[in-house]
Chains A and B, each alone.
Chain A
């Protein structure tokens, strides 16, 4: 036992084989996934406990719109791994270009998302009330779950865009820093992989 502890911890060898900053990001990702997990759990509870749940999203244009948003985010993940690969090769100009592509896709996601929010708000959706034409029994909590979950996710995308910008601008950023930034970005994408089907696809208008 003592032998193991000594070899793993005392000799300057990290037990996870990654740097402390990267481990920190992994721990942040775990705690953040719990934040989103709890929000989605509340959504499940409210939806099951409601007498009726609004299904306002028509396939065209609503679902097609949110599918395009999903594609933006998926593509931004691909450009992010390209950035990390460029960084591994030590090619700084390529790294900056790929990060800028990632930022562009992330911003496209946010802009599309805000256009969608704007449409829903114009229709009369509010955090605690739904438009009358969505049905008299439709739970007013639809807006609360929708705005809370997609809003928090959008905030993560926006923070990610700023984080990416700072990483690209920092000349002293190491390869590990770029990798850590990538971890965060992929996590935001990962969350959307659950938000998109649970919030949008399960509320398709029949």
Chain B
């Protein structure tokens, strides 16, 4: 905790809210679904990194722990995103939606 001040945490919190606001705004202005998918996933990954690095303090842990946790998290995120790209193909295949 030595190197992180309350101010840093508040800034991270503020950024998380701003990024959530952008996601909701994109939904509000009805950007096309495919673009919405890519942008909210991108923004969510940024939010996940902020939470892991600052709130979960991973940025300040020993490198061995970072190298254990981060690749596993990356693989997990890739795992659950595996079918979403098929959504783009499915838009063209479907005769009606």
Contact = CB atoms under 8 A, between A and B. Distances in A.
Interface residues on B, range: 35 or more
A202 B64 contact: no
A67 B24 contact: yes
Given A78-B9, A204-B30, A85 B1 contact: yes
Interface residues of A, number: 52
A149 B24 CA distance: 20
A82 B9 contact: yes
Contacts of A70: 20
Contact of B9 (A40, A63, A81, A196): A81
Given A17-B61, A63-B27, A74-B16, A84 B1 contact: yes
Contacts of B48: 190, 193-194
A204 B27 contact: yes
9 contacts: A16-B61, A17-B65, A59-B28, A74-B16, A78-B9, A186-B51, A189-B55, A194-B48, A202-B36
Interface of B: 1, 6, 9-10, 13, 16-17, 20, 23-24, 26-28, 30, 33, 36-37, 40-41, 43-44, 47-48, 51-52, 54-57, 61-62, 64-65, 68-69, 72-73, 76-77, 79-84, 86-87, 90, 94, 96-97
Interface of A: 15-18, 26, 30, 33-34, 36-41, 44-45, 47-48, 51-52, 59, 63, 67, 70-71, 74-75, 77-78, 80-82, 84-85, 88, 137, 179, 182-183, 186-187, 189-190, 193-194, 196-198, 201-202, 204, 206
